[in-house]
Amino acid sequence: MKKPIIGITMDSRDDGSYYQLGFDYAKAVETAGGVPLGIPYKVSPALIPAILDTLDGILFTVGNDLDPALYGEEWHPKAQRIDPDRQSFELALLAEVEKRRLPALAICLGCQLFNVYRGGSLYQFLPDVADKHEHRRGEDSIRRHAIKVEPDSALGRMIGKGEISANTYHKQAVKTVGRGLRVTAVSDDGIVEGLEDPSLPLFAAVQWHPERLHAEAEHLAPFRLLVEKASQTVR
Ligand SMILES: [Mn+2]
């Protein structure tokens, strides 16, 4: 059987001129049975339909902070601003992905993107609010916290457990939940760690970084979910 092709969005180095993508995203997709392909964003949005014609599923990845004007706020003093070209490209990409009902998984910034795209808002800097777990302090990949996963969500069914240990490396998180989305995972200090639109074949987002832990079955599960749904759209 032909393996599904999974597009992976890329970030850029903060000094500009170069794309960057952590090795783990493509390796996690490969391990789950998909064929990973990077998607450059410094191209015309007019190419988006042709790009998506080549893909069976898509993975939205990590990056800097979305412009809070998208949800009616000013930049936080500690903001690390996303490249405006990436933001506009990914919003246009997501709109076309949604229109085509293409299976989509989002991680970290991707989770925030899905929520804001649907009209939701974000906590711009978690240390300003309840942050028992210091969600942003996971740079060493060692800091973890427990999350509860909804057993009747697509994510929960694939993980097969109601509670897992997730790594945490984010200073932003979902505040108000966007249209058509349900919360599928939450930390024990009340931070949203997963979202899904159950009306689409797969429109799922996680706030933690399963790509870094994909050697563990419960963290490979989101990628298996993406590859399984993408397999159903292989041409
Ligand atoms: Mn967290």
What's the confidence (pLDDT) of residue 128?
87
| Structural contact between residues 170 and 129, judged by C-beta atoms closer than 8 angstroms | no
**Ligand 1 centre from 220 Cα, in Å?**
18
For each of the chain's 235 residues, which pLDDT tens digit applies? 799 999 999 999 978 899 999 999 999 999 999 999 999 999 999 999 999 999 999 999 999 999 999 999 999 999 999 999 999 999 999 999 999 999 999 999 999 999 999 999 999 998 888 666 566 655 555 688 999 999 999 999 999 999 999 998 899 999 999 999 999 999 988 999 999 999 999 999 999 999 999 999 999 999 999 999 999 987 6
CA of 162 to the centre of ligand 1 (A): 16
- Which pLDDT value is given to residue 131? 61
All domains of the chain, ordered by start, with CATH?
5-231 (3.40.50.880)
CA of 131 to the centre of ligand 1 (A): 9
pLDDT on residue 50: 98
Ligand 1 centre to CA of 3 (Å) is 32
pLDDT at 52: 98
Give the β-pairing of 122-123 and 104-107: unpaired
Q: How far is the CA of 233 from the centre of ligand 1 (A)?
A: 32
The half-sphere exposure of 67 on its side-chain side, counting CA atoms within 13 A, is: 10
Tokens of 37: 């392909």
Q: How many CA atoms lie within 13 A of 66 on its CB side?
A: 32
Catalytically active residues are 108, 209, 211
Determine the pLDDT at residue 76. 96
CA of 185 to the centre of ligand 1 (A): 10
- Only one residue has tokens 């049975």, namely 33
Give the DSSP H or E segment for 173: strand 173-174
